[in-house]
Chains A and B, each alone.
Chain A
Amino acid sequence: MAWLVVRLAISVSLLYAASAVFEDQVGKFDWRQQFIGKVRFALFDTHSQASKKLLVATDKNVFASLNSRTGDLFWRHVDKTGPEGHIDALLMYGQDAVVVVGNGRLLRSWETTVGGLKWETVLDTGSFQAAALVGVQDLVKYVAVLKKSAISLHDLSSGSQIWGENLPDSDSVQYQTIYSGENGLVFVLGIVPNSHIVIVEYKIEDGEIMNKKSVEAAWMSSLESSCAVVSSGILLCVDQITQSLYTLPLQSAEQTEMRQIHLQMLDLEVASGFRPVLTSTQPNPAQPPLSEFFLQLSPDHHILLQFKDGLIALLRDFSPSYLAAFATSGERTVAAVMSPKNDTACSINLFSADTGRKHLDTTIIYHMDPNGGKPNRLYVHAFLKKDDSVGYRVMVQTEDLTLTFLQQPGRVVWMREEALADVVTMEMVDLPFTGTQAELEGEFGKKAAIQDGLLPMVLKRLSSQFILLQAWLAHLWKLFYDARKPRSSVKHEVTIDILSRDEFNLQKMMLMVTASGKLFGIDSKSGTILWKQYLENIQPNSVFKLIVQRTTAHFPHPPQCTLLIKNKDTGLGSLYVFNPIFGKKSQISVPTLPRPVLQTLLLPVIDQDYAKVLLLIDDQYKVTAFPSTKNVLQQLQDTASSIFFYLVDSSQGKLSGFRLRKDLSTELIWEVVIPTEVQKIVAVKGKRANEHVHSQGRVMGDRSVLYKYLNPNLLAVITESTDTHQERSFVGIFLIDGVTGRIVHEAVQRKARGPVHFVHSENWVVYVYWNSKFRRNEFSVLELFEGAELYNSTVFSSLDRPHAPQVLQQSYIFPAPINTLEATLTEKGITSRHLLVGLPSGNILSLPKMFLDPRRPELVSEQSREENLIPYAPEMPIREEWFINYNQTVSRVRGIYTAPSGLESTCLVVAYGLDIYQTRVFPSKQFDVLKDDYDYILISSVLFGLFFATMISKRLAEVKLLNRAWR
């Protein structure tokens, strides 16, 4: 019977916690955007005229097919992160795309229409150098892969290896490129830097070495960057020091030296300090490359040249020109060149490759985004029009990873913001009030109102009421107008001007900071990008910290956000202050930070303009305040003795606490040193500042209260052992008071290993680790309680809490690996908490905190049932209804951000990784909202019915009474 009770209790509790999306709710509160990352290879499918495919391979190890008409994804394959999934080369022939993955580990062929894998071959070990398609008699049949010391030829239709040969003298010669023309030979080109180049000829059929020769080239250090093959097997190289081109026929036996052609003879000169670049094109791998090629002499100077009969002729000089690219459609090859038009726009023109003549009416105007970066890659899709002229579309990639697809005469067909594939940090900011709401706020907000007197106040009130009435009428009119139109034609276009806070504050502004240094302001309801700002000169290894200094609550002061950009190597930082709603840079003067910043601290102290004060601590423990007005400095002096902060030096295992002095210097007040020989600090987390805890304690089964230990200054420090042996490794958990440095609790999880993910909130810490003995992921929860009595119930002070809290802990098995962990957050903290677990599968699991409760009893008792405690079970369930993103998986989820909304039941969730997913969760169901399918008509008709029934029966009763009186 007890077992039945246990099962019943579990099922009842599950029923209570279960929540899932109904089919008709899909996409109602949530959206997902999928990204690919920075494009490294892009190929248009020129197989057929009607094809819309654009194949891309990116630095995020993503191989995808885009619809070139809309920019949407046809399909996407996300490979492993890191070098294991790195895409080395992308080749395309017909319907097949051949990809080399993982530094030459795998060779794969994909069917491009549906994205199915046709075959996969594991290649021999060796670092990848080059890959090329090899054709025999106008038909491409093979793919050749060049490794550091070997070359192999594979069949294009099955992937089977035709032959593989070791390269001669591979320990001294660096083989770098591969070339195959029409004559049944594969050329492998290698170099001994600053000495000579080596050319080895292989026979396609059996891999027999037909010829091997070496040619003097003392000036050359790299083949790949300075050479190209043009015409029928002519190796062309450029050298910036001698300012000349060198040519060498690959196959000829008689010429044993490279022929030098001075650039001067063509009246050309390489810009000093610029490494010239040669670009050739080989439209069909079974045929030799064209004899025309581009030579780039400076960042904005390209030249189209032609190699003919051993001579080089200048076809056209493009100066200035940013980018140039070849494209082929059918038999015709064209060159597209991007030149600056004015400060904000570039023009792209088409030229025929063989003559250099400009095609008429082919200009595309590309407007550069003033908040974006410069264009750095140009991909051209050429096609034949009905009248046999060449038409084209271009895709431009900019420094800030925007992909823009343009067609004539400059219409932007689509745009993708690939910087969003690498979101580093984000915040959510409330939207401002509408003008009318703000008007009302302003009326009561201004201090001057008191001096205005009675009459102006009345007038002001009347005018604002009138404005409200006007706005309401306009709203009604709009509703009426929209209702008349068919539903499909009503476009819900979101612009920054109409954005305003909704009734329940469910729509917010998402601020996203990306690794490339581009900031985005995104509407949380629709996912529309409202503003973007590219910060130039951001080092690739920068660390960002986004701080909301002033929210939208302080009208008429605009909201203010500060981004601290810190160079990881030097530690030097800079501040970027902006308005989060419009994305405009603020005019406020920003303190310069000459010394590395160690720590930032957002104080609850506000200046006269309602901006919270940000303290920046440098490596000499000096404090810079921002803003640093007189008012702020005065406030800081007054409160200095109660401002504490901590620093963590994980290299020395040192945690230290400081107190602010009146002169903005600091003093060391505590120090904890965890020896680095045994364990190293991997993470330190405090609690979120905007977190509210509604109940101070938990009511126990016997009606007594167990008070929570709610220390806002508590830090959770996680360490990992340096010894990684599976029996001796451990994970350490330290709970340290950030003000006094007191170690509140110290625990060691034996036989455990990282990566550790953890959440620190209210009075609990939940962490996930890898159990190295049982090889499984485990959850552990720590809860802190003061006991049955509160020490000081009015206020919490770290300086006055002499008794150590009671610590309860319990662990569970979690049957899945974990990418990230976060807890839900609501306005007042009444709603029960859930943990949001990002799984590698891309699902986000909403796990009730109820399951992670160290008070879950071994044996069910009357009291535990009274308390609604679930009996302890060592394994944590994963139920598919708990996936908040149903089938909208988030690839490589890296972080989850939660924000409260105006509704207590609702928490806004954004999961980001390669994709971005936004939704709302209701941990305790929507207790404060009527259901979607609430039957208003039934309720109102019943109400009206009852009302009329009462009226009628009243009337009837009156008549009856009257009749009786007459009787």
Chain B
Amino acid sequence: MIVNDFVCQSGDAVDTDFSGFSVPLEHSFEVDDVPRFRLRGALQLRGGRENSVYLSQNQLSEKDRSTLKDVAAVDGLYRIRVPRVSLQVDRQTERQSEGYLTTFVRACSLVESHLSDVITLHTDVSGYIIGISIVTIPGSCRGIEVEDEVDLEVFNSTISVVAPVTAPAPETAPYIERMEQEMEKKGKNPQEQKSFFAKYWMYIVPLVLFLMMSGAQDQSGGGAGGGAANGGGR
């Protein structure tokens, strides 16, 4: 395969702009669906507290454009891969592990989105890249013909590195704080401290008396009321 078209342009600039390093991003799209990876661009990675990534890539050659359209026509796959690396600086020596991380997207959706893709690199807690994902926006294949060859020349890529988020632990401290505040508030306001019965006794006592009077007259009525109360639990 011809890879001459892919020249990593910013190769020299890496060392000055970034204190990081660069790894190749490769892609493959073949009509026979047998992966043959070629260079798509270079990923400039920088580890540390804020993982950052920058992608420099070239235009697609005319031949590649036609291949991509052919692959899209047979609903083939567009695959990309990166080598397994670690972002952490102190692991520079053992940074490169064997093997690659691969993923894919349907070639047709890449064509129909005019090469607008979002590439995400996922790292684990120690900064190893564990996975790569690619999606196109929009992601659907509607069979729209992309006539204009110019639309397929330049990748419109968004690339990011995602580290795992820390899952929340049970929040006891704010809860206790809130409870204390409630207690304080209650302590300040003596009106609140009065119990329900103390506040409303003047309504409750006549009501109870009334119920007792009526209950004495009609025993069965009281029983039915109790039954309804039991049923109310549903």
Measured between alpha carbons, how far is A2 from B162 in the docked complex, in Å?
41
* Residues of chain A contacted by B38 (CB below 8 angstroms): none
Chain A residue at smallest Cβ distance from B117? A802
Within 8 A of B (CB), among A736-791: 736, 740-743, 745-751, 771, 778, 780, 782
What residue of chain A has the Cβ atom nearest to residue B97's Cβ?
A675
A641 at the interface (CB under 8 A from B): yes
CB of A743 within 8 A of CB of B169, answer no
**When the two chains form their complex, are residues A673 and B166 in contact, meaning their CB atoms are under 8 A apart?**
no
User: Interface segment, B14-22, B50-58, B132-140, B145-153?
Assistant: B132-140
**B122 x A743 contact (CB < 8 A):** yes
Nearest CB in chain B: distance from A809 CB, A: 6
User: In the complex, A58 Cα to B172 Cα: how many Å?
Assistant: 45
Q: Measured between C-beta atoms, what is the minimum distance from B189 to chain A in Å?
A: 9
Q: At the interface with chain A, which of B3-11, B64-72, B123-131, B203-211?
A: B123-131
The one of B99, B104, B128, B137 that contacts A669, using a Cβ cutoff of 8 Å: B104
Residue of B nearest to A641 (CB): B75
Contact of A674 among B124, B135, B162, B233 (CB under 8 A): B124
Residues of B within 8 A of A (CB): 33, 75, 77, 79, 84, 97, 99-106, 109, 118, 120, 122, 124-126, 128, 130-131, 133, 135-141, 162-172, 174-175, 178, 182, 185-186, 192, 233-234
Cβ A670 vs Cβ B165 within 8 A: no
Interface size in chain A (residues, C-beta < 8 A): 53
Interface centre among B33, B125, B166, B234, by most chain A C-beta atoms within 10 angstroms, is: B125
5 of the cross-chain contacts (CB-CB < 8 Å) are A670-B103, A730-B125, A750-B166, A874-B175, A875-B170
Question: Do B122 and A669 have beta carbons less than 8 Å apart?
Answer: no
Flag if B131 contacts A672 (CB, 8 Å).
yes
A1 on interface, CB distance cutoff 8 Å: yes
CB within 8 Å of B: which A840-876 residues: 858-859, 872-875
Q: Is the CB of B169 within 8 A of A771?
A: yes
Closest-CB distance, B121 to chain A (whole angstroms): 10
**From residue A321, how far is it (CB to closest CB) to chain B in Å?**
62
Q: Is the CB of A872 within 8 A of B171?
A: yes
User: Do A668 and B102 touch (CB < 8 A)?
Assistant: yes
Complex CA gap A669/B105 in Å reads 10
Q: Which residues of B contact A875 (CB under 8 A)?
A: 170
Q: Please tell me if the beta carbons of B164 and A678 are within 8 angstroms of each other in the complex.
A: no
A1/B192 in contact, CB under 8 A: yes
Question: Taking chain B's interface residues, is the majority helix, strand, or loop, or is none over half, making it mixed?
Answer: mixed
Pair A747/B164 contact, Cβ less than 8 Å = yes
Asked, given contacts A1-B192, A2-B182, A667-B33, whether A741 binds B122 with beta carbons under 8 Å apart, the answer is: no
B186: A residues at CB distance < 8 A: 3
Cα A733 to Cα B185 in complex, Å, equals: 41
In Å, the complex CA distance between A293 and B138 comes to 85
Q: Which of A248-256, A474-482, A504-512, A810-818 contacts B (4 or more CB under 8 A)?
A: A810-818
> CB-CB < 8 A to B138: which residues of A?
802
Report, nearest first, the 3 A-B pairs whose CB atoms are least far apart: A742-B133, A672-B131, A802-B135
Residues of A within 8 A of B163 (CB): 746
- Taking a contact as CB atoms closer than 8 A, the residue among A672, A736, A800 that contacts B109 in the complex is A800
Q: How far is the CA of A733 from the CA of B165 in the complex (A)?
A: 10
Report yes or no: B167 in contact with A748, Cβ–Cβ below 8 A: yes
- When the two chains form their complex, are residues B133 and A740 in contact, meaning their CB atoms are under 8 A apart? yes
With a CB–CB cut-off of 8 A, which chain B residues contact A730? 125
Q: Which residue of B lies closest to A670 (CB)?
A: B103
Which residues in B have their C-beta under 8 angstroms from that of A859? 178
> Per a CB cutoff under 8 Å, which of A2, A733, A802 touches B167?
A733
Partner of A741, one of B109, B131, B136: B131
CB–CB A872/B175 < 8 A: yes
User: Considering the chains assembled together, what is the distance between the CA atoms of A452 and B234 in angstroms?
Assistant: 54
Given contacts A674-B130, A799-B109, 9 further A-B contacts (CB under 8 A): A1-B192, A18-B233, A741-B131, A745-B165, A746-B162, A747-B166, A748-B167, A778-B170, A813-B170
* Set of chain B residues within 8 Å of A743, measured between Cβ atoms: 120, 122, 130-131, 133, 162
B102 adjacent to A669 (CB under 8 Å): yes
Most buried by A among B140, B166, B168, B170: B170
B170 & A679 in contact (Cβ 8 Å cutoff): no
Q: Residue B172 contacts which of A1, A670, A748, A874 (CB distance < 8 angstroms)?
A: A874
Distance from B220 Cβ to chain A, minimum over Cβ atoms (Å): 13
CA distance A679 to B130 in the complex (A): 12
Question: Which residue in A741, A751, A771, A858 is a CB contact (below 8 Å) of B103?
Answer: A741
Identify which of A3, A18, A678, A813 contacts B128 (C-beta below 8 A).
A678
A858-B130 contact, Cβ under 8 Å, with A747-B166, A750-B166, A802-B136 = no
B165–A748 CB distance below 8 A: yes
- Cα-based distance from A342 to B31 in the complex (angstroms): 69
Contact A746 B122 (CB under 8 A): yes
- How distant is the Cα of A669 from the Cα of B100 in the complex, in angstroms? 12
Task: Give Cα A937–Cα B105 distance, bound, in whole angstroms.
Answer: 67
For the complex, give the distance between the alpha carbons of A481 and B178 in Å.
Answer: 68
B217 to chain A, nearest CB (A): 23
Tell me the complex Cα distance, A15–B163, Å: 42
Judge if A925 is at the interface, Cβ distance under 8 Å.
yes
Q: Would you call A811 and B168 a contact (CB within 8 A)?
A: yes
Task: Flag whether A732 is at the interface (Cβ < 8 A).
Answer: yes
Nearest chain A residue, comparing its CB with the CB of B128: A675
Contact, CB under 8 Å: B135 / A742: yes
Q: Which residue of B lies closest to A750 (CB)?
A: B166
